[in-house]
Amino acid sequence: MKYPLGKEPNKTKEKIINYSNRGMDLESDINITNEYYRSIDKAFIYKKPTPIQVVKVDYSKNKKITEAYFKESSTTDYNGIYKGKYIDFEAKVTNTLSFPLRNIKNHQIEHLIKVKEHDGISFIIVRFEKTSENYLLETSKLEEVLKEKLKTIKLEYFKENGYLIPIKYKERTDYLEIIDNLYGDIL
């Protein structure tokens, strides 16, 4: 069969990004929580935009970007201010009962350690999809695992060394409650 433009239609592997139905994911929960913190003037913590290398822009079409590539983040995804303190964290999801450390880039771990050393508050949040639980693990506890040269962190380690983040109606993952309990005396 011949097509009018000389090629088969719709054979491209281009995909339209679907932004709907993301209400249940961790990123969305954290963003909603951060919006709530801002709305009650509690903390100003944002997700950093995904870094993208722009190659071509069509200025005739409303500054449409026509060629670009995802880049690797230089730091973690979330940072901001809470009671004068610098807050910095990375959030990840695992669908097994352990968290593979390869999910966090080395330079991200180094960044979390730097923040801790410079008197900021840094941690990771890991969602275990199987148990529908979110845990906060401080960078110091993450470093202990790294010293053991383990490749994964088991859920038990999070239960023993991390903190289960309460799920609330408005603060869908209220990690600042954990931070208050941990650092209340210096905040």
Give the pair of three-digit tokens for residue 124. Answer: 């990771």
User: Which of residues 52 and 164 has its CB atom nearest to a copy of itself in the complex?
Assistant: 52
Q: From 129, 111, 115, select the one nearest 86 (Cα to Cα).
A: 115
Cα 144 to Cα 40, 104, 138, 140, 153: the distances in Å are 36, 15, 10, 7, 11
DSSP lists the bridge partners of residue 151 as none
Q: How far is the CB of 129 from a copy of itself (least distance, A)?
A: 24
Minimum CB separation of residue 157 from a copy of itself in Å reads: 27
Question: Nearest distance from residue 155's CB to a copy of itself, in Å?
Answer: 31
Least distance between a copy of itself and beta carbon 128 (Å):
28
> Nearest distance from residue 38's CB to a copy of itself, in Å?
8
Sequence-ordered list of residues with C-beta below 8 angstroms from that of 89, at least 6 positions apart, any chain: 76, 77, 78, 79, 112, 122, 123, 124, 125, 175
DSSP-derived letter for residue 51 is P
Please, which residue, 119 or 148, has the CB nearer to a copy of itself? 119
Max Cα separation, the chain?
75
Which residue's CB is nearer to a copy of itself, number 28 or number 120?
120
Distance CA 165, CA 178 (A): 7
Comparison of 107 and 130: residue with beta carbon closer to a copy of itself? 107
Instruction: Report the residue number, 43 or 178, with the smaller CB distance to a copy of itself.
Output: 43
CB 178 within 8 A of CB 163: yes
Tell me how far apart the alpha carbons of residues 79 and 96 are, in angstroms, rounded to a whole number. 27
Site residues (vs a copy of itself, CB under 8 A)? 12-17, 41, 43-44, 46, 48-52, 54-71, 73-75, 79-88, 111, 114-115, 118-120
